[in-house]
Each structure stands twice: as C-alpha cells, then as structure tokens.
Chain A
C-alpha cells in the first residue's frame, strides 16, 4: 500500500503545541508511507491541490490526514481524494487537534508522543483500507399507511398529492378514527366531523389512494424500499360496489339490537349497521356476532347488495415505506374502581360525554343523566383518570385531557347556563397556541376549578358524591353531582401490537412506539423506511397528529421520490464459511437487518453499520466493511507499539456521542491527561471483547469504552449491549487474575466534553493505583514488571 501522510499545522492551532515537521519526519519512517508532508492549512485549496497532485504523481493508494476531527473534515478530504480518482473510503484521519493539541496545551512533549501514536494508528488502518462503493437500489414508490385516523388520513393525502401511490389500511369498517366520533374540538370549538369529513372523502376519491377498510395486516417482510405486506380484508357481507349507503332500508328491518361501540355503549345499533353517518366508505356492514341470518335486510335492500356468502379476501402489495398511524385506546376507567365507573350509571367516560354532546349522538346532543334521562344540573369532570398515576402503571401525562375537559365544560355551560360545571384537576396544562386563552375563557364562563385529586366517588341514596381534598383551601370536601365525567387518559393501542411486532418496533416503558430520537427524529422509527405518526408514539392533540402525518409523509417522500436508494457502504458482511447460524446477531441487530436461513444474511439496505453484530458473533463470522476487526486490531497494535506513557489507556469512543464529546472537550479547550489513545467506532456496541484483550496483551494498563448515555444510543440499545459485554469480560478478567477495574465503560453525550475529560483523568488515577498491567499476576516479592518504554 502506497500511503501519503499530511500533517496539518492548522495555523498555530496544532503547530502551537505540536511540531508538525518532526511528526512528518516520524511519519516517513512508518511502513508503507510513500510521501509525508506538513501543510499550513490542509483543508485550504493549496492543501487540497497538494494532496491531489501527490496522489497522481506518487500513485498513492491511501491517504492519512493528521489534522482536525474527522467529524469536521472527513467529507472534505473524501471529496478531495475522489476528485483525484481515488476511492473516497481510502482515507483515514488522525485527530491531532480536537483530541490532542487543544486538550494538552500544557504538556507539549507528551502531546507530541500522543500525536505520533495517533499517526501510527491511522497509518496502520490506512494500510488495511479497501475501496468501498455506495450502491444504489431501486425502490418501490408506493407507501403503506397503517391506520385511518386523522394522522393516517393526512399522511395518505399528502403522499398521494405528490404522486406516490398509497395503500391505506384500516382495521375498522370506516376511516376517521376517534376524531370522527368527537363533538366540537379545541381550541376553536369547530365541529370535528365537519372539518374531518372532507378529508375522508378526499381519501376515498383520490386516484392514487387504495383504501382497504375492515382489514388486518398479517405479515410484513423485507426492508426499506421493498417491504411486502399481506393481510386479509374481512367480509362485511355487503357488496361495497353495490351498496348505496342508504341504510334505512336494511337497518330499518333488522330485528337485532346491540350496544353500539361507536357510541361507547350509550346507544344501540342493528346487526347491519353503518358505523357513523359520514362513514368512508359509505357501506353497511353486518356484524356476524349479532346477526341471526333472518334474511330481512337482503330482502329490503333495493340493490341486492347484501351478500351472506361473502368471504374474506387476501391482499398483498409491495411498498417502499410504511407509516404507522395506529393511534391510541382509552384507559379503561373501570380500573380506577374508587370512581365507580361501571357501577354507578351516572359516572361516564370522556368519550361518552363527547357522544352525549354530539348532535348526531344517542341523545341528539342533550347531556343527560343515564340513570334518569333528565338533563344534568351539575356536572363534574375528574381529571387524570389513568394518567399521571403510578398506581395503574401510567406515570405519563395524556396531554389532551385538560383541554378536552375545558372544551366539554364550555360546551355544557354554553348550552345549559344554569348547570353547575366543575373541573377537579391536579394541574391544568394548557400549553399550545391559543390554549391558555381557551382556559381563561372557561374561567370567565363560570366553570369551577377545584385543585386536588379526587379520592372517591360514592353513590348514596341516588346521589353521586365526589370526595376530594381541596389543596388550595387545604380542606377535605365532598360535593354532590348529577353527572361525573372521568377524563380517561390515552394508552397505547394494544391492537397495534401485531403490527409493531411484525415491524420490530420498540416500545417505550409507557407502551407507545419509540421514535428514533425523542427530540430530533420525531416521526422516524428505529427501522429504516418506517415512520410513526400521531398517537401511536404517544398522546397528541389533533393538530399535532396532523402535523406528524404531514411530517411522516414528507419523510417517506424524501426517501422514495427518486425511485432509488443510496446505500451506505459501511455495513456488516457475513463469512458464510464461518457462520454457524446461531442467530445471536439477529437478536442483537437494532435494525432487524439480519435474517438467518441456515447462515446469517445481512440486508445491506437495512444495515446501519453499528457493528454490534460483529462484536456479538461467537465465531467471528461477521465483520464490518470500514471498521473491520483487522483494521481496529491494527490500530490497537499500533497504539501499544511504543507505550510512551504510564498509565497507558486505549480508548474506544462511539462516533455519535463520545467521540463528539471528546471533540467538544477540544473546542472548549478542556485540558486532560495525555494517557489515552482513542479509536473511533460507530457504536460502543462494536467493541469486541477481543479488542480489549488485545489492548491489555499489548501492554495497555487500561481500556476505556465510552458510549452514548443510556437510552440515547444512536442505534437504540448498542450501549446496553456494550455494557453487558464489559460486565461479562470483567468476570473473565477477574478469573484469570487481571484486575477487572482495568476495563471501564462510561456514558458521555456529545455535549459532555467535561465528563469525558474528567473520566480520563479519573481512570488514569485509578490505573496508577493499580500499577502497570500485569502487576496483579506477579508472585508476591518478585520485582515489578518493567513495562516497555517508561
């Protein structure tokens, strides 16, 4: 391998502490180095030109740039080498600025030694680089949207408007979700179905949307760009093409009445029914559970649309991306037994009061006591039922209950000014545009606000009594009401578990689907090509759900609009000879990119290159293209070749957090000891125990592994896997008599340069206490091993 090494002065940023010319001379002594130069500013045009000329003139095969952090200029130099006709991946950088000259300003001689090591390590890796090509893959430009609530509806419309074909799959007979059942919605108090119905109709009429209702997804295979989805469309026993949606004819004659789940048990429907008057598609549906097969509806139908012999149909399609908009389910208020839901008829849920307030609801919009049918003269809203409540396992805030209770309280107060309306709350959360104003409006309307969680609702002699502690008055109180409305929280939709399992989505402790980053990637799943919108990833109000539907659509569009996908060449590769098909990699892979059919197979489109599978493989059958075992081992050997310092630490820093944190220590000029030689890996999960052993064998006194903070891993769980491996390794070390304290794993975010510096300082101190590696193996009384070079 003919290597060119370029040592940057970076003005005085590097040259002020280190001696670039002697580093250059040092580089020339390294095997394979054909050319070594020091340059004032390597990233400048002159610097770039020099590299290009050298590549041509000296027929260089790989390049080492010893300068700033690769996180800053790796893309620049990759471009430079490729402009000179070289493969862009034939470049390695030695970070002698952020992780050397800027953090060791007071110790130039030691910093110089460290810089030499860093260059030796970079050259060692450069010797083993091989050209990589980022391939492209044709992708399907069709998208599956799961769930026809408002988020799914919005995503479908946006995608279809941009020319992508959409399959919208809904498990119920109509789209519209919960929003279609609500009365007026906050903060504008406009009619929910009036603003939603046009969108539902648009979905139905859009030429690029294939709507599949009353359907279940049974299988999803493949990965980004080429998912295959299959499932069944259940029989509704009514021909969708023939039914005119008149309903009166068939339902009018049906003798069977059952509780209507679209009215949350308050009203009744027939065995042949239309879920809601605005149903899309506007097609009746027969519920086989309650139908007695009398045949009256078939007789009554003017177009002979009733088909008792209808069967469920299978469907199957290929899509490039999937949007999961599976929504939520209500907390079952009966679980809070002290509130008597299900025991006292006049204790109802928030969704039930939505239906009572709805002009199309079971009472035509009258808010009545279910026990008497009389209009309620006093109404209490009990907040946080099943939210912010550890006793039912839901510590989270459901986010919408304050606002919908304010809204329903206003609607009741406006309709019945004489009715006394109270809201029992613990905190009122009205954060959002126009929300606080909405709250003030409720106060002005004369709604009572009582702070304190209600302890119980009791019904004695036909009156509901709400017992509570008024935490503003500091007093225990009891108040009678005609109607008590429980503001039940939002829970993860259990019906979505099947889809979640098929896709391999991870769940947060609260049960909702986890997004790729809790802040920065709000609609992306951990799985490439899968997006999550709306309440599937946590409670949200309608406007946010719509925004998420739009965001997910735009993400899916960005992915598929070109019709092809550029693949990152940093991927895992399996050695078919060595693989024993043990499936350990399948379980470790955060991207579900590996499948086993006799031997492991990596889906390069889905692989994100973290390398935790390579570390997990018990027979070393998996390796990475750019962070290969051999490359990393060569870096370790190069680092420990001289061992010019005591204690000597080999560090492994994950690219996303810890390496960035170390760079930040540099840009913040946080000084720390020079004892560590850091190796960049994509994830702490990449660190194979063999690396640690190699470092210790080579004479390193300690090994420091640093990953993202727990719960913040770029690859979801890589740091946990790293932690687990380190714990096992510590046990092994202890058994062979090596102090397990020589291996340390820490968590450091990209913003925590100070923590990285502190940990290096601390670890160096601890290792000093332990003595040089191997001290613990020497028999008592024998002279201390004299490490090489100190």
Chain B
C-alpha cells in the first residue's frame, strides 16, 4: 500500500509524537508513505472564509495522484469538506483559477486509522486463509500483532471532526471504528459515554472556564469507565486532554494522571514497536504506567505458562 502523506502543521509542533508514531506504524504495516511535496495549511486556519479554506485544501490534494492520508482529524475533515464544496462547479472554477495544477475530481482521503485497520484486516484474512488451507507448519506469517494489548482497557475518544462532515468513515453520533481497532489490538474498549464530547480546543482561549469544566467531565468519565488510558485521534484533542491535566488537577484539586495515547502509539505497541520508536516519552502525562501494566500482565501470563510447562 502506497499513500500520499499529509502531515499538517501540528505534526511539526505539538504533535510530533503523532507523526513519529504514524511513520513507525506505517513502516511496520508495510504502508509506504510519500509526503506531499510543498504542502500547505489544510485550510483550518481560514475556515471563516470558505473559499480560501477550500482552495488551500485543494492545493494539497492536487499535488499527488495517490490516495491522501492525514493523521490529524482536523486536516482530514478539512480535506473532505473541501471536496464536498468543490462539487459545486462555480466553486471549483474559482478555486482552479488560483491553482497551478487544476483540481479535476475527487480523491480518496484517509484518516490514519483507516489504513491501519485495513492492513490488520488484510493480515487477518490471510491468517484465516492459512488456517483454512492448513499449510505445512501452519505458521502465521502475516500475524502483525506480536504484542497483543490483552488486559489493557482503552477509552476511545473521537472528538468532533473524525466523523464530520457526515457520510464519512462512521456515524457522526455513535461511531464504532475506534472500538473495533482497540479490540483488534487485543485491548478492551471501555464504555466511554463522553467519547464524542468536544475537547474544547476551539474555545479554550475565549472560554477557559467552560473548557475546563468540560475537560474534567470527560476525563472523570474516562477514568470512571475503567480505562488505563485514553486513545486520541486528533492532535488538538490530544493536546487538550493531555497537556491540560496539571492545570486541571490544580484547579479541581484532584489527581487525574490518565495517559492519553495517540491511536498510532497504541497500535505501535501492539505491533511490537518500542516506546522510543513511538515518541512515547513526549506525551505530557507519563505513559510509563501503561507500559508497566502491560509488562506486568505479560509477566503474569509468562509465569502461568511457565507453571503449566513445569
């Protein structure tokens, strides 16, 4: 699988660990990423001017013939929204006036969770095939999940833009795609009722009070659902839930200490990548507790198996 990679601005700033883990996971899954040459803003900074925003996104889209993958939900949503706007012939004409390479038609735009899911499904199908045909040795050549996250509980946090505009990868109100991935990786998704609640990124500056109230609700709910960590799909969500925890702890006088993992970091662990390959030291809330729990579970399992052998 070869994809055009659209990093987006956050990949080079607060979301560096997202980019590092995205690249690492892609490599592990055999997905070849070709970064879009001379990419620009996805249009999110100009949403107040729909035409400019659409044109910015279109300029990125026309720079490749491959399907485009973004790991940021905002970029992903902007690219998709732009394609919807560009269905309007008048908009398309106007945008094309400004573009060197013309926007000719729709492209496949993917969020990083999609190729990960696809690659794992494909591997699974091949496994099933192997099992069915009972080949010699029956070795699971394609088994990619070398370190299943069994025993870990993950709160799937979607944020607002992965599923919007509607008609995309899943239902905008009650999506399931992240839960499915968590299960595939061997972990257990928790019943996280506020998984669609706004991360308050867009209102944090003007309405810090309201944002803090909402964030603490989300984090409490995630904790109460029994999660060892929260999975984020968007760097803004991640920033809000992760970097704000010290501030929230002080403000509400309670300990939170809930690691927020990027979806790619979680997937990377299951694929057997080391924490350093996934940039896990860069998260604000220490991710060590996740790794420690995983190691403990694995140790116990090994012990049990060892006991059996004896």
Q: Which A positions have Cβ atoms within 8 angstroms of B?
A: 337-338, 340, 343, 458-461
Contacts and interface: CB of A to CB of B under 8 A. Distances in A.
Interface core residue of B193, B194, B221 (most chain A CB under 10 Å):
B193
Contact of B194 (A337, A343, A458): A458
B174 A460 contact: no
Interface in B168-222: 171-174, 193-194, 217, 221
A599 B173 CA distance: 55
Nearest to A456: B173
A459 B172 CA distance: 17
A337 B174 contact: yes
A343 B179 CA distance: 15
A88 B219 CA distance: 87
Given A338-B173, A459-B193, 14 more contacts: A337-B171, A337-B172, A337-B173, A337-B174, A340-B174, A343-B174, A458-B193, A458-B194, A460-B193, A460-B194, A460-B217, A460-B221, A461-B221, A461-B224
Contacts of B193: 458-460
Contacts, number: 16
Contacts of B171: 337
A74 to B, nearest CB: 52
A331 to B, nearest CB: 16
Shortest beta-carbon contacts, A-B, top 7? A337-B173, A337-B174, A338-B173, A460-B193, A337-B171, A459-B193, A460-B221
12 contacts: A337-B171, A337-B172, A337-B173, A337-B174, A338-B173, A340-B174, A343-B174, A458-B194, A460-B193, A460-B194, A460-B221, A461-B224
Chief secondary structure at chain B's binding surface: loop
Nearest to A461: B224
A196 to B, nearest CB: 38
Nearest to A340: B174
A317 to B, nearest CB: 47
A338 B174 CA distance: 8
Nearest to B197: A458
B189 to A, nearest CB: 14
Contacts of A458: 193-194
Nearest to A339: B173
Interface of B: 171-174, 193-194, 217, 221, 224
A502 B165 CA distance: 40
Nearest to B174: A337
A476 to B, nearest CB: 10
Contacts of B173: 337-338
A337 B170 CA distance: 12
A460 B172 CA distance: 19
Contacts of B224: 461
Contacts of B194: 458, 460
A458 B218 CA distance: 13
A340 B217 CA distance: 19
Contacts of B217: 460
A337 B158 CA distance: 15
A461 B174 CA distance: 18
A393 to B, nearest CB: 13
Contacts of B174: 337, 340, 343
Interface core residue of A343, A460, A461 (most chain B CB under 10 Å):
A460
A681 to B, nearest CB: 39
A459 B193 CA distance: 7
A343 B224 CA distance: 19
A340 B171 CA distance: 13
A340 B221 CA distance: 17
Contacts of A338: 173
Contacts of A461: 221, 224
Contacts of A337: 171-174
B223 to A, nearest CB: 12
A507 B183 CA distance: 45
A343 B171 CA distance: 14
A461 B193 CA distance: 9
A619 to B, nearest CB: 40
A632 to B, nearest CB: 42
A337 B196 CA distance: 12
Nearest to B194: A460
B175 to A, nearest CB: 9
Nearest to B175: A337
Nearest to B166: A391
B197 to A, nearest CB: 8
A340 B174 CA distance: 9
Contacts of A343: 174
Nearest to A343: B174
A343 B173 CA distance: 12
B65 to A, nearest CB: 35
Contacts of A459: 193
Contacts of A340: 174
B213 to A, nearest CB: 12
A693 to B, nearest CB: 35
Nearest to B224: A461
A458 B217 CA distance: 13
A749 B217 CA distance: 61
Nearest to B217: A460
A461 B223 CA distance: 12
A741 B173 CA distance: 52
B210 to A, nearest CB: 10
